Amino acid sequence: MIDIKFLRENPDVVKKNIQNKFQDSKLPLVDEVIELDKQSREAKGKADSLRANRNKLSKQIGALYAQGKRDEAEKLKAEVSAQGEELEALEAQEDRLSKKVTEIMMQIPNIIDPSVPIGKDDSENVEVERFGEPVVPEFEVPYHTEIMEKFDGIDLDSARKVAGNGFYYLMGDIARLHSAVIAYARDFMINRGFTYCVPPFMIRSNVVTGVMSFAEMDAMMYKIEGEDLYLIGTSEHSMIGKFIDTMIREQELPKTLTSYSPCFRKEKGAHGIEERGVYRIHQFEKQEMIVVCKPEDSKMWFDKLWQNTVDLFRSLDIPVRTLECCSGDLADLKVRSIDVEAWSPRQKKYFEVGSCSNLGDAQARRLKIRVKAEDGSKYFAHTLNNTVVAPPRMLIAFLENNLQADGSVRIPEVLRPYMGGQELIK
């Protein structure tokens, strides 16, 4: 959410940003919120004047009673009473207008970083850099569920009967591989100085609206019927929510946390043939990283976060590339985002396995995550998040890139301690 003062002073900048995100239908919101904000501030000004006048009159009433001037005191009391009704009406008006301003402000997209390429959708994202050499083996690489089935490692039919499409049973060595990757990712991030955390897997609505846009919420979140609780779509939600309504001392920053959680997503919409199996599902597990930092440090942390994911995948011998997300592919709260994509030898192309985002102070402003500097000044923190690893999608890249000609799967050396010393899955 943008600072209302910035919007007041820079309406043209905000409108241009909306156009750059190809959301022209939101352009009228800028003028609407400016007018409502003006009315809100006028109502507040009148209310403040009335309060000051009532306080003044109240002191006079006390003095008049002390002087025995009861009639004059009663006359002023009647005036104070009348002003009380007017003040009540003004406070109600101010509250209504303030809520409307906030409601509209939450629909206006955050100001994107100048480095973000302008484009309508993900087809216009820009490749930044490749890490590792993409290899296409001489033998045919089967579809990922076929690889898993050869190891009796997945049961989609039973899951479909139990929970419907978009769910799975992982079995045997494939299930163990899934857990090994999560455990390895946890330790990888701990070794990089992040504090490990297992967060709540449900969050309240005020946290949901603090960390994402309404459109994202509707497309992603499962609501618990009859309760003010939602299943998390990623642990970033509850991890950032951990700092709601807090005042953090500047010397305590940055807060660097890595978290494990299951994730639950509606995944609305139709998906292509390459998204069968376990690529796009309703339930999965994930290792995440988040940072809460000073504004001047957020660019540095952004680069560190996506590099962590690249380094982890390369340690598992998986080639990856980074993509700079264009303006039209950025969620409304994001200032900048880079996707990490892994190489698929079967498809002979890259596919997304993680996303790193800088939210600026948007989430902090919504959730009231503030920082107190040493000089006593206060400001909103910057928040960032990034996927460390999200199996079972990551397993697709792992199995395809480590598949051998005889059908076995090689276990990279760094992962073997988490697989009981196994070098191969046969």
pLDDT at residue 220, as a whole number: 85
**Mean of the pLDDT values across residues 172-179?**
96
Kindly tell me if the per-residue pLDDT of 347 is higher than 60.
yes
CATH class of 122-425: alpha beta
Q: Which residues pair with 289 in a beta bridge?
A: 258, 386
Fill in the DSSP letter of residue 352: E
Which amino acid does the sequence have at 163? A
pLDDT at residue 339, as a whole number: 97
Give the tens place of pLDDT for each residue, 196-220: 999 999 999 999 999 987 777 877 8
CA distance linking residue 42 with residue 207, whole number of Å:
31
**Mean of the pLDDT values across residues 308-323?**
97
Residues of the chain above pLDDT 90, percent: 77
Q: Which fold has domain 4-105?
A: Helix Hairpins (1.10.287)
* Residue 254 φ then ψ, to 5°: -85, 160
Domains 4-105 and 122-425 share a fold: no
b/e map of 301-321 (b: 16 or more CB within 10 Å)? bbebbbbbbbebbeebbbbbb
pLDDT at residue 269, as a whole number: 55
pLDDT at residue 91, as a whole number: 83
Q: Which pLDDT band holds residue 346 (cuts at 50, 70, 90)?
A: very high
b/e map of 380-389 (b: 16 or more CB within 10 Å)? bbbbbbbbbb
Domain coordinates in residue numbering, the chain: 4-105, 122-425
pLDDT at residue 187, as a whole number: 98
Complete DSSP assignment for 220-246: HPEEPTTSS-EE-SSHHHHHHHTTTTE
Kindly tell me if the per-residue pLDDT of 182 is higher than 50.
yes
Which stretch of 43-57, 135-149, 313-327 has the lowest confidence by average pLDDT?
Answer: 43-57
Phi-psi region of 215 (alpha: psi -120 to 50; beta: other; left: phi over 0): alpha
pTM for the model: 0.88
- Cis, peptide link before residue 142, omega less than 30° from 0: no
Give the tens place of pLDDT for each residue, 258-315: 999 999 998 765 454 344 688 888 999 999 999 999 999 999 999 999 999 999 999 9
Give the tens place of pLDDT for each residue, 37-95: 999 988 888 888 877 777 777 777 777 667 777 777 667 767 666 667 777 788 888 88
Q: Which pLDDT band holds residue 152 (cuts at 50, 70, 90)?
A: very high
Mean pLDDT value across the chain: 91
